[in-house]
Copies of this chain bind each other. A is one copy, B any other.
Amino acid sequence: MKIQMIVTTIAFTLVTLANPAYAQLPDPGMEIVPGRTALLITDPQNDFLSPKGVAWGVVGKSVTDNNTVANIDALFKAAKSNDMPVFVSPHYYFPTDHGWQFEGALEKLMHNIGMFDRKGALTTEDFGKSGADWLEQYKPYINDGVTVVSSPHKIYGPETNDLVLQLRKRGIDKVILGGMSANLCTESHMRELMEQGFEVAVVSDATAAAIVEEGNGYESALINFRFIANTVWTTDEAVEKINASK
């Protein structure tokens, strides 16, 4: 029995050496097909991306290290220059949301610090330049009358908004995904879109995440992007592919 195990271990080691893990984890890739491919940005809002945002204390380092603000901007610019449809999935909380009877850890934290708070769905009082508002430099892209802004998601994924329908109503089945934050809303959007039968290419440096004592959210996202997505690109690769796709 023991010998069998040793043999198995040796065999496995040899296989591993001959056939490194990388070879075991394929990279299926994603071809950009005009008319079927969209850029999707999650939570391009001040609370994550502005030094004045309430989450900057935990995400600022990751946003800065990744050059996330400029990278998301480069994706917006490339998509708009090539008439690629652009979708934004925002994160808002309304006063009644503070009446939830139970919450996960980050939900509780977001509510505690007033993240993404708005005064109501039918008012824009105090909204402009608040933490829930778009990062100022993205407004020309988002407010051009063409970008589709979904209803807000309420936990992390698009299960609670109309994003999937909005993509489908325009024949989109391939999504280039960036935005905030990497292991929460971005990853939950990736996971749900794949459950819904979309192909997803995640742009690994057009996102960032909280780094806290419990762990580095960006590192965990990178691993899951690689395991799950159809492919993972850098912003440079994504921009190049978008420009070449038209």
Contacts and interface: CB of A to CB of B under 8 A. Distances in A.
A224 to B, nearest CB: 5
B25 A183 contact: no
Contact of A103 (B28, B162, B167): B28
A21 B95 CA distance: 25
A7 interface: no
Contacts of A19: 213
Interface stretch (A38-46, A74-82, A148-156, A233-241): A148-156
B212 A24 contact: yes
A227 B222 contact: no
A161 B162 contact: yes
A169 B199 CA distance: 9
Interface string A1-30: 000000010001001100111101111101
B169 A162 contact: no
A180 interface: no
A213 B151 contact: no
A21 B162 CA distance: 30
Contact of A101 (B57, B102, B155, B169): B169
A219 interface: yes
Contact of A124 (B96, B123, B196): B123
Of the listed residues A155, A197, A228, A230, the one surrounded by the most CB atoms of chain B closer than 10 A to its CB is A197
A84 B218 CA distance: 37
A159 interface: yes
B155 A165 contact: yes
Contacts of A226: 105, 214-215
Contact of A21 (B57, B171, B173, B221): B57
A168 interface: yes
Given A58-B24, A96-B148, A214-B21, A227 B195 contact: no
A152 B155 contact: no
Interface in A167-188: 167-171, 173, 183-184, 187-188
22 contacts: A21-B57, A22-B214, A24-B58, A24-B112, A25-B109, A26-B108, A28-B108, A95-B145, A102-B230, A105-B229, A121-B149, A121-B151, A151-B161, A154-B162, A154-B166, A156-B228, A159-B165, A160-B161, A164-B197, A171-B173, A215-B227, A216-B223
4 closest residue pairs by CB, A with B? A168-B197, A215-B223, A21-B213, A220-B220
